[in-house]
Amino acid sequence: MVDDHALVREGLSQVLKGLDPAEPTEVMQAPNCAQAFELAQVHPDLDLVLLDYHLPDMNGLAALAIFGKNHPELPVVMLSGSANPSVVHQALTQGAAGFVTKSGMSDELLDALRRVLAGEIYRPADSTAFPDFSWTSTADQQPAPVFSQRQLEVLQLLLDGCTNREMGARLFVGEETIKTHVAAIMRAFNAKTRTQAATEAARWGYRKSSSTG
């Protein structure tokens, strides 16, 4: 279990103890990728890695690549605060055995991990909410853009039609900071305007928040 928040690790560890009622589940915890790599090296009999996407020393996707290179037989399930379609796509096409969100129920997590341990690939239950989203990677497919948590918040507000000033007020940051994030989002989508960025975001499966319809 790799997560930089101790309370999250402890809570998930308690949940994971119910993974196999017939046999005790041993859960090893790591607050960062460096310690996780050490544990994987010292314990070659690990059955599974539950890897958070946002970690202090390395992006979860980068860590996924290292696990895949050093331990190709070890299934890695990505854990994130939301089912961001671009991150889900990146994770699954780069070798993750599954993707689960922290907002899900305990039973959902256990079901996902049992399926992965049985050799399946687990996709988020709400993946059908992204009708334009393709789970299949092709050689000429444009790589899915990956954003920071703050950029994701700005992107959501962009889709909701908020101005830079409104974004800054909601996120409690200055307009110049918002402009920087918007510019980064536009570059990621290769868009020349905010409207083009919003259109491209929708193509990747991003949607307006439910509050705006």
Classify residue 96 by its DSSP letter: -
**CATH number corresponding to 6-129:** 3.40.50.2300
Contact between residue 131 and residue 46 where contact means Cβ atoms under 8 Å apart: no
Class for the domain spanning 149-212: mainly alpha
What confidence score (pLDDT) does residue 125 get? 65
pLDDT digits (tens, 9 = 90+) for 107-143: 989 999 999 998 888 887 655 444 344 434 333 455 6
Residues of the chain with CATH 1.10.10.10: 149-212
What mean pLDDT is predicted for residues 143-154? Answer: 81
Reading the block at residue 209, the tokens are 């928040």
pLDDT digits (tens, 9 = 90+) for 39-85: 999 998 999 999 999 888 888 888 988 998 888 889 999 998 877 78
Residues of the chain with CATH 3.40.50.2300: 6-129
Residue 23 CA neighbour count, 13 Å, CB half: 2
Reading the block at residue 53, the tokens are 């996407």
Q: In angstroms, rounded to a whole number, what is the distance separating the alpha carbons of residues 146 and 86?
A: 6
User: For the residues of 116-166, what is the DSSP string, one character each?
Assistant: HHTT--B--GGGGG-TT------TTPPPPP---HHHHHHHHHHHTT--HHH
pTM for the full predicted model:
0.64
What mean pLDDT is predicted for residues 10-25? Answer: 89
